[in-house]
A and B are shown apart, each in its own frame.
Chain A
Amino acid sequence: MKKRVVITGMGIVTSLGAGIDITASALRASRAAIGPITSFDTSKHKTNQGGEVGVEILESVIYKDKQFHLDRATKLLLRACKDALNDARLLTQQGEYIKAPLVVGTTLGGICSGQNFHRAMLLKEDTQKYARFLGDALACHQPFHVASILGILGETIVLNNACASGLSAIGCAFERVRLGKSTVVIAGGYDGMSDFAHAGFNTLQLVTSDKCRPFDKNRSGLLLGEGAGVVIVEELEHAMKRNATIHGEIIGFGQSSDAYHITKPDPEAQEAASAIRNAIEEAGVTPESIDYINAHGTGTPSNDSMETKAISNVLGEYAKRVPVSSTKPFTGHLLGAAGATEVIFSIISMQQNNIPENLNYITPDPECDLNLVTGGSRDQELKMVLTTSFGFGGSNAAMVLRKFA
C-alpha cells in the first residue's frame, strides 16, 4: 500500500535571506531582493542585476574544523540542509549520524570552483595553487561535502534536469517514501551564482535588461539568482510517531520530456501538460481542488506562453479562475534550486493563507490569460497548491501539495 508523505523540515537560502520567517515576510510584503551582482564582472553583459545571496549568509556556513575548500553552491546547500534538519529536529551532534538518503538537484554544481582552476590553466598561472578547488567542482561533490559535515550516512543522489532539477529531486524523494523504500529522505535543489551561467543565459538572449515580468505582454526575459531549498520528506506514520511538526503533505508528482528541442519548450505544451495531469491524477484530486498555482513563470516569452497553454490544457475553463503567480521576480531564477525553493514558497503560502504577488506585472497578454495575482499579495484560504518546473531539454515536472489535516 502506498504511504502518505509529509514535509517535516524546511531550509531555504535565497537573496531574500536565510530562513522561513524572513522569506515568508518578504513574500507577504511583495519585497523582492534583486540588485547589482558583485561576485563577478558583469560589465560585458546585458544586465548587472540578479538575486545574489549576502556574504554574511555564505560566511555563516564556513566550518573551521574542515580544511577543504567549499564551493559557493556547497555553502548554500549546506546552510539550507542544516536548517531543514534542525527544523525537523533531526540534526545530529558531532560524531553522530543520520541514516537517510540525500537527493538533490542542480544545474551547474560547483561550476565556480571548476572555473577557477580552468582560468588558471588558460592564463598559465600555477594550477597547483587552484587544485584544491577541484575537490568541489563536480556536481556530485556538493552533497558529499554536506553529508560529510552534517553526518548524513546513506545514498546521495544528484539529479540534473536543468531548471526542473530541484522539483525532480523532491519528486524522487516523494516516490521513494511513498513506495516504502525510505522513511525519511533529505531532498532539495541548489545552484550558486556564476559568471558561466550569467554569460550563458545572456548569450542565449534569455536575460532581460528590464525587470523580470512573468506573463506580462512586455516580458523580455529572466534575471538569475542563487540559492538552495531543502525539505525533509517523511512517511506520515514515522513523523507522527516522533511528534514531528508537519508543514504540509505531498500528494502527487508528475514528470515528462518534450522530446522537442534542446533549449526551446514545445510551444504546443503537450508534455508539460502531461506532467501536470499526471501530478493531479496521482494526487487523486480534481483540477478544481487546486487553490493556487506557483508557476515556473520565468518571464521569457516562450516559457510563459507555453506554460499558460499547459495549465489551460489540463485545467480547462478553471485555468482562468485559479490564482497564479510566479515568485521568480522576488529572487531571480535559481536554476536547480528553483523547483525546491518554490515547493517551500508553496508551503509557506498555505501556512500563511496568503498568495504571493506576481510582481512587476503591468500589461495583460492575451496569450497568458491566467488569473494572475497583482496589486499585492492576496489573503485566501489555501488547501492545495500546484507547483511547476520546466527546464532545458524539455524537462517538465509538477507537484501537488496539500495542507496537512
Chain B
Amino acid sequence: MEKDFVITGVGFLGNWGVGKKDFIRFLRGEGVPVSIEEVDFDAYIDVPSVRRADYISCCALTAAKFALEDAGMLPISKEKSNRIGAILGTVHGALYYTIEYHASLVLGDPKLASPLLFSDSVANAAVSHISTGLGIRGYSTTVPGYCGVTQALKLGIELIQQGVIDVCLVGGADVNHDFLTKAYRGCLCSPELIVNTFGGSGCLVIESLSHAIKRKAKIYAKIDGVSIITASYAVASCYNISPLQDLLNEANIELRDNDCFLNMSFDDEDSLCRRDLFLPKFSRHHFISLDCSSSFGYGFAAAEAFQIILGVLGVDSEEYLSSFKGINTNKPPNRIFITRTTLAGTNSCALFSHCS
C-alpha cells in the first residue's frame, strides 16, 4: 500500500485575483478585492456548459484546470481518465442559483422557473462541471462541511491507497453573496459581527510519491498526515478538542523546533485560544494566524483551500510567508501544520513538509 503522498499541482483564483502573483500581493495586503462576478472566466476556460453555470462552478472549474495544467496533466487522455478522481469541499455550494431558483418559486410561477437553475443548484454541480469539462471519469464527489477541503484531501489519499485512482484533484470552492452576510448575522453567536465573506476556489493535485517520480512531476510538498475530529458540542461554536494530537499519534510524528503553524481563526482573541489549544509549547514554533474577520474573510471552503495552498507553497518557497511577522524568511520552514477549528465542532489538522 502506498504510504507517501505529494502535491504536484496547485491552481486558485478568488475575488483577490488570479494566480500566484496576485496571491502574494493579496497576502501582503496590496491586492484590491473585486467581486467574483467581475472575473472574466472566458479568458481562462473554454467549456461552453459552464458559461451559464453558477459562479461556484466557474471558479472551481478554472482552479481545477490551473491545478491540472500546473501538474502537467492536461489534456486528460481517455485511457487515463478513469484513474483520476475529483473531490471538492464546499460549505454553501451553488448559492447564487439556489437563491435565484428559490426566489423564482416564492415570487413567481414555479412552472416558469429555469430548470438550469435547479440542476446547477445541487451541491455536486461544481465537481460535475469539473469532471465533465476536463474529462475526469474516476471517483468524483462533493464534501459539504466546514473542513470539507481537508476531508477531501483525506478521502483522496484513501482512494489512492485503495488503488481506486492514481491521481486526485482535491479542492474547495465557495462564493460570497449578500445572503451570507444577512444569514450569518442572524445565526452566529455575535449578531453584531460584520461578516466579511469572499469567494473563489483553490485546487491541488495529489498523487503517490512513486507515481509523481515516475512521471517526473514537480513536487511542491509532501503530505505527512491529515486528521479531522468532529466534536458533538454546538453548531455555532468551536470546541477544544485537538486534532493535532490525533495526527501526531496516528502518523507517529513529534513536534520539532521551527515547525510552522498556519491557523485559521475567527479573531485575535480566538486565535490566542487556538494557539493554546494546538500548541501548549508554542514559543518554540512559528504561529501564523490567518484572521477570518479581516484579511482572509469568511471564505469558508475557498479560504480553507487558500490556507492549505499557502501551506503547500510555503514549504516550497519563502515568498509566501514573508509577509507574516516572526518568520525567518531566509528559507521556508521545513514543515507547516495547517490547523482549523470551525463551526459545528469540526477541527482539522494537516501537515505538509518540504520534499527534496
Contact = CB atoms under 8 A, between A and B. Distances in A.
Interface of A: 44-45, 68, 97, 102, 106-109, 114-115, 117-119, 121-123, 127-128, 130-132, 134-136, 138-141, 144-145, 147-148, 151-162, 168, 172, 175-176, 178-179, 181, 195-196, 199-205, 255-263, 271, 274, 391-395
B115 A203 contact: yes
Nearest to B99: A118
Which 7 interchain pairs have the tightest Cβ spacing? A393-B128, A200-B118, A131-B186, A139-B144, A148-B232, A134-B187, A140-B145
Contacts of B151: 155, 157
Contacts of B287: none
Contacts of B101: 196, 200
Contacts of A139: 93, 123, 144-145
Contacts of B105: 195-196, 199
Given A259-B137, A262-B119, A119 B187 contact: no
Contacts of B231: 153
B230 to A, nearest CB: 4
Contact of A395 (B140, B164, B236): B140
Interface string B161-174: 11010000000000
Interface in B93-150: 93, 98-99, 101-103, 105-107, 109-111, 113-115, 118-125, 127-129, 131-132, 134-146, 148
A115 B102 contact: yes
A385 B323 CA distance: 58
B186 A393 contact: no
A97 B105 CA distance: 42
A114 B129 CA distance: 24
Contacts of A203: 110-111, 113-115, 118
22 contacts: A106-B144, A107-B122, A122-B103, A144-B345, A144-B346, A147-B232, A148-B234, A152-B232, A154-B230, A156-B230, A158-B143, A159-B141, A160-B122, A160-B143, A196-B105, A255-B164, A257-B136, A257-B138, A258-B137, A271-B137, A392-B125, A394-B128
A155 B141 contact: no
A152 B229 CA distance: 11
A256 B82 contact: yes
Given A121-B179, A153-B232, A161 B141 contact: yes
Nearest to A117: B183
B89 to A, nearest CB: 10
A118 B179 contact: yes
Contact of A140 (B91, B139, B158): B91
A140 B346 contact: yes
A118 B98 CA distance: 10
Contacts of A160: 93, 122-124, 141-144
A260 B123 contact: no
B340 interface: no
B217 interface: no
B176 to A, nearest CB: 16
Contacts of B45: none
Contact of A259 (B81, B106, B164): B81
A255 B128 contact: no
A135 B188 CA distance: 9
A155 B230 contact: yes
Contacts of A118: 99, 102-103, 106, 179
Interface string B194-233: 0000000000000000000000000000000000111111
Contacts of A108: 122
A309 to B, nearest CB: 17
Contacts of A161: 124, 140-142
B313 to A, nearest CB: 27
A102 B346 CA distance: 13
A342 B118 CA distance: 25
Contacts of B98: 114
A82 B345 CA distance: 21
A160 B142 CA distance: 5
B34 interface: no
Interface in B224-257: 228-236
A144 B144 CA distance: 12
B79 to A, nearest CB: 13
Nearest to B105: A199
A218 B57 CA distance: 36
Contacts of A199: 105, 110, 113, 118
B356 interface: no
A257 B179 contact: no
A334 to B, nearest CB: 15
B246 to A, nearest CB: 10
A249 to B, nearest CB: 18
A205 B110 CA distance: 12
B229 A158 contact: no
A263 B182 CA distance: 31
Nearest to B107: A122
Contacts of A168: 141
B330 interface: no
B39 interface: no
